[in-house]
Amino acid sequence: MPLLLPSSLYGLARPFLFGFDPEHAHEITLDGLARTQNTPLACAYSAPRVDDPVTLAGLTFPNRVGLAAGLDKNARCIDAFAAMGFGFVEVGTVTPKAQPGNPKPRMFRLPQRDALINRLGFNNEGLDAFLANVQNARFRKNSGGKTPMLLGLNIGKNAATPIERAVDDYLACLDGVYSHADYVTINISSPNTANLRSLQSDEALDALLGAVAERREALATRHGKRSPLFVKIAPDLDEAQVAVIAATLQRHRMDGVIATNTTLARDAVAGLPHAAEAGGLSGAPVREASNRVIAQLRAVLGKDFPIIGVGGVLSAADAKAKIAAGADVVQIYTGLIYRGPALVREAAQALLRDRSKA
């Protein structure tokens, strides 16, 4: 039985980590997790996983709390996150080739609002290194007969690839990740890669998802398994845009939608230090917009279409509000930075209790 220390330990670690520049703190943390995962030191952040299985897109999610993409872009720490009790972990965004991302500094804390702004720009070591890390992960073997945690692999395009050739990058990534993923996420909503979000508009989305859906059929035949495809969208969309996206997802038989990525809006943080930095805003200030998009999606997609809700989950109550807005399961990024790994179990337990009341 792992020691249940994560909240108290994170209480000690947070002031230390917040003393560093955010990206440096992030690197220190990931290095620590990569070194200690699958060793006795992992007890510092391990917690028993809440057992609350839910079936979505043909997959059994062991519980309803997942790690959002972008925290572990190179898939180095999958086993550490599995030990924290997540029901599912999404790694990436990976691009076909390694790329450095935008110039530093490119990540900022807004602690007054439990928020971050980032303009990392898909800094990552590329598809080959990513797949090597994914293949080294042991969480499936470590699951000890229990339902294994699910692994989502999130794919994008290189900054140097012209937007008209974006489809090539998504197909190259899809080919590479397909057989290793429980689900694949098509990320078309990062604000930090020029023109990426234009892929959400009618014709571009239709062309991208048409090509991806066709390739998935070929890959399903080749590998003898049909991996679900999820599409990750932005919160900065109006109701009409959400409706068009929803219809396009259904037309191309996508298996789910992840709502949402970070926001370009700044009204909730206006006047605070760093608020004027370019990039995507995450954490508490994106919660309302994310919940609005989730509710709109649920209204147009009907009750059975899988929706993964993400954006501003910093407490058990926030996780419950996402489900109430229409999400089936939730993901966390910024909440983990501000609240530490204890949030995973807290949120998963709250959703379990909520269900038992239903």
Ligand X SMILES: Cc1cc2nc3c(=O)[nH]c(=O)nc-3n(C[C@H](O)[C@H](O)[C@H](O)COP(=O)(O)O)c2cc1C
Q: Which residues form the interface with ligand X (CB under 6 A)? A: 68-70, 73, 93, 107, 116, 118, 120, 122, 154, 187, 190, 232, 261-262, 282-283, 286, 310-313, 332-335
190 catalytically annotated: yes
Which segments of 156-225 are extended strands (E)?
183-187
Nearer to ligand X, 190 or 291 (CB): 190
Nearer to ligand X, 46 or 263 (CB): 263
Contact 235, 291 (CB under 8 A): no
Q: How far is the CB of 219 from ligand X (least distance, A)?
A: 21
Distance (Å, rounded) from C-alpha 153 to C-alpha 177? 7
Distance (Å, rounded) from C-alpha 59 to C-alpha 150? 8
Q: How far is the CB of 11 from ligand X (least distance, A)?
A: 20
- Residues 6+ positions from 152 with CB-CB distance below 8 Å: 66, 69, 88, 89, 90, 91, 181, 182, 183, 184, 185, 230
Contact 290, 248 (CB under 8 A): no
SS3 85: coil
Nearer to ligand X, 42 or 331 (CB): 331
Nearer to ligand X, 42 or 117 (CB): 117
Nearer to ligand X, 113 or 226 (CB): 113
Q: Which of 46, 189, 190, 227 is catalytic?
A: 190
Q: How far is the CB of 346 from ligand X (least distance, A)?
A: 14
The length of the chain in residues reads 358
Q: Residue 212, Cα to own-chain centre: how many angstroms?
A: 20
Nearer to ligand X, 42 or 71 (CB): 71
Q: How far is the CB of 336 from ligand X (least distance, A)?
A: 8
Residue 312 burial (10 A CB sphere; 0-12, 13-18, 19+): buried
Distance (Å, rounded) from C-alpha 298 to C-alpha 312? 19
- The residue number whose beta carbon is nearest to ligand X equals 70
Q: How far is the CB of 221 from ligand X (least distance, A)?
A: 28
Point out which residues pair with 116 in neighbouring strands.
109, 282
At residue 264's C-alpha, the angle toward residues 263 and 265, to 5°, is 90
Query: How many other CB atoms are found less than 10 A from the CB of residue 210?
Result: 14
- Categorise residue 271: left if φ over 0, alpha if ψ from -120 to 50, beta otherwise: left
Q: How far is the CB of 265 from ligand X (least distance, A)?
A: 13
SS3 18: helix
**Active-site residue set:** 190
